[in-house]
Amino acid sequence: MSKEDNKTIEQYIVEKHSGHLRDGFHVWSHDMIDVPRALGDFRWTSDLILSTYYQAEHGMPPDHGLEYRIGASEGGFDVLDFNWLPESDQLPKSTEVDIAIPLNLRGEGKEITIPLPIYGGGMSYGSISEQVMLSRAIAAKEWDTFFSTGEGGYPQSLLPYKDHIITQVATGMFGVREETIQYAPIVEFKYAQGAKPGLGGHLLGDKATTTVAQLRESVPWVSLFSPFPFHSVYSVEDHRKHVDWIKTTNPEALVSVKVSTPTDVDMVAVGSFYAGANIIHLDGSYGGTGAAPEIAKKNIAMPIEFAVPKVHKYLVSENIRDQFVVMASGGIRTADDIAKIIALGADGVVMGTSELVALGCTRCSNCERGRGCPFGLTTTDPLLSQFVDPLWGAQRISNLYKSYALQLRSILRKLGLSSIRQLVGRKDLLVYRKSRETA
């Protein structure tokens, strides 16, 4: 399968039904084709999948009818809209808009700023291929941002990009080494994930190849389960010991704490602040790959759009909000979603699934199988992995970020804001779509 084959997934899907093209892409009409029944779901509709792929191709949102802002879930981000200013009060298109965010607000330690409010979430070697990890690393370097290794260890091929890689320390401690902590500008503790809180991590034996097992220091073809939780951490004091361990091993590293979203997530966030963390990474439900159990994704964790304002409000009440970075993930798919979660109280977002969709993922939910991914993304199979050229993959992720940056600046201008930091916690700039329609 060539790179050209990889590039024509959208064309294949639509040409199979119509053959109507414009400039190499499709004149989209739901009357003309019946894609929704074959592709996507209510959250990741066929339009969102195809428009994300288009943005990865062109570096800008589509202009031929694809819906690229919201899905069809009738909940969450899909029912929120922006309370736009009158056109006369909006900022001119020529106005410079700053979308950079700092990742250390404590006033001590290393200062790190990323030029857009996005970095890549943890996807481990084993859950995705090494080629996809390299694609993400190269794109992170190009944008001067980061991506997380996930809990599967640190392949040697990533070393040239170590200044843009977050080392994750998860409960299974797979592949955690002193040198990989020392490489990292940011170390992330994964206490829980929103897609399957309370269940820990899972890598089934079908994907635990000899290479994966060697990196994780485990036995090949045996399923790997990360416990829940860290059995050495049951209090803020225990948590502080973890943070101290990292800062002793690498005094320059920032510490991020990834947690799921239980009802007391606001208390968890405050505890992490006083334990010395720089970043609290809130991971809500609906995130994760197709390997996450549906029963967990849809019924356990709090949706991220509820968790973020809860945490933001509590940090404000404790007078520490301006000293702690809040990053959000879990069901964030579009530039509109990014702006909405920041308006609800986050500083920035952690992206995962959208990057895979940019590389051809159609959300078929076969991620847990070694040869289950037909596009060579969530696979450990050495043949399927070759479907992704890292340079090609990096260019597509970079183009997606470019499109997000364009859209974020446009959103901020329409809201009369010159900086993404001015959007944090501005719930007054959001309205419900239904209330607007009935007004």
DSSP states of 69-121 as a string?
S--S-SSGGGGEEE-PPPGGGSPPTTS--B--EES--SSSS---EESSSEEEP
64 vs 137, higher pLDDT: 137
Residue 278 has pLDDT above 90, yes or no: yes
Q: Give which of 180, 183, 121, 134 is closest to 153, Cα–Cα.
A: 180
Q: Are 396 and 50 in contact, with CB atoms under 8 Å apart?
A: no
Amino acid present at 82 = F
The structure tokens listed for 84 are 């736009």
Pairing assessment for the beta strands 325-329 and 254-259 based on DSSP bridges: unpaired
What pLDDT is stored for residue 31 in this prediction?
41
Q: Give which of 282, 280, 271 is closest to 305, Cα–Cα.
A: 282
Q: Are 25 and 369 in contact, with CB atoms under 8 Å apart?
A: no
Q: Are 358 and 52 in contact, with CB atoms under 8 Å apart?
A: yes
Q: Give which of 404, 429, 425 is closest to 415, Cα–Cα.
A: 429
Taking residues 410-436, report their average pLDDT.
93
Q: Are 203 and 224 in contact, with CB atoms under 8 Å apart?
A: yes
End-to-end distance of the chain based on CA atoms, in angstroms?
Answer: 52
Q: Give which of 43, 82, 109 is closest to 436, Cα–Cα.
A: 82
Every domain of the chain and the residues it spans: 3-74, 101-437
Element (H, E) at 316: helix 304-317
> Which residues, including other chains, have CB under 8 Å from residue 360's CB and lie 6 or more apart?
6, 9, 53, 375, 377
The structure tokens listed for 175 are 């592949």
Minimum mean pLDDT among 4-13, 104-113, 319-328, 376-385: which range?
4-13
Minimum mean pLDDT among 3-7, 116-120, 268-272: which range?
3-7
User: CB-side exposure of 370: number of CA atoms within 13 Å?
Assistant: 17
DSSP 3-state helix, strand, coil percentages of the chain (rounded to 5)?
40, 15, 45
Give dist(CA 327, CA 308) in Å, integer. Answer: 9
Taking residues 268-289, report their average pLDDT.
90
Element (H, E) at 329: strand 325-329
101-437, which class in CATH? alpha beta
* pLDDT tens per residue, range 149-170: 988 889 999 999 999 999 999 8
Amino acid present at 266 = D
Residue 416 zone, left/alpha/beta (φ > 0; ψ -120 to 50; rest): left
Residue 99 has pLDDT above 70, yes or no: yes
Give dist(CA 350, CA 189) in Å, integer. Answer: 14
What pLDDT is stored for residue 392 in this prediction?
96
Pairing assessment for the beta strands 147-148 and 165-170 based on DSSP bridges: parallel
Q: Give which of 410, 411, 413 is closest to 89, Cα–Cα.
A: 413
Give dist(CA 332, CA 365) in Å, integer. Answer: 18
75 vs 204, higher pLDDT: 75
Residue 3 has pLDDT above 60, yes or no: no
Taking residues 230-245, report their average pLDDT.
88
Residue 384 has pLDDT above 80, yes or no: yes
Taking residues 381-393, report their average pLDDT.
92
Give dist(CA 271, CA 119) in Å, integer. Answer: 24
Amino acid present at 207 = K
* pLDDT tens per residue, range 291-307: 666 666 666 778 999 99
211 vs 197, higher pLDDT: 211
CA angle, 189 then 194 then 196, to 5°: 100
Which range of 145-154, 234-243, 305-314, 372-381 scores highest in mean pLDDT? It is 305-314
Taking residues 95-118, report their average pLDDT.
96
Rg (CA), the chain: 21
Q: Give which of 134, 211, 131 is closest to 175, Cα–Cα.
A: 211
Question: Can you say how many angstroms the Cα of residue 210 is from the centroid of all Cα atoms in its chain?
Answer: 28
Give dist(CA 192, CA 281) in Å, integer. Answer: 10
37 vs 416, higher pLDDT: 416
Taking residues 387-400, report their average pLDDT.
96
* pLDDT tens per residue, range 20-76: 333 333 333 344 344 445 688 899 999 999 999 999 999 999 998 899 999 999 999
405 vs 292, higher pLDDT: 405
pLDDT bin (cut points 50, 70, 90) of residue 195 is low
Q: Give which of 415, 345, 428, 408 is closest to 118, Cα–Cα.
A: 408
**Percentage of the chain lying above the pLDDT 70 cut:** 86
> Which residues, including other chains, have CB under 8 Å from residue 97's CB and lie 6 or more apart?
91, 408, 409, 412, 413, 417, 418, 419, 420
pTM of the complete model = 0.88
> Which residues, including other chains, have CB under 8 Å from residue 324's CB and lie 6 or more apart?
105, 106, 269, 273, 277, 278, 279, 280, 315
How many residues in the chain? Answer: 439
* pLDDT tens per residue, range 299-338: 677 899 999 999 999 999 999 999 999 999 998 999 999 9
Residue 18 has pLDDT above 70, yes or no: no
Give dist(CA 49, CA 165) in Å, integer. Answer: 27
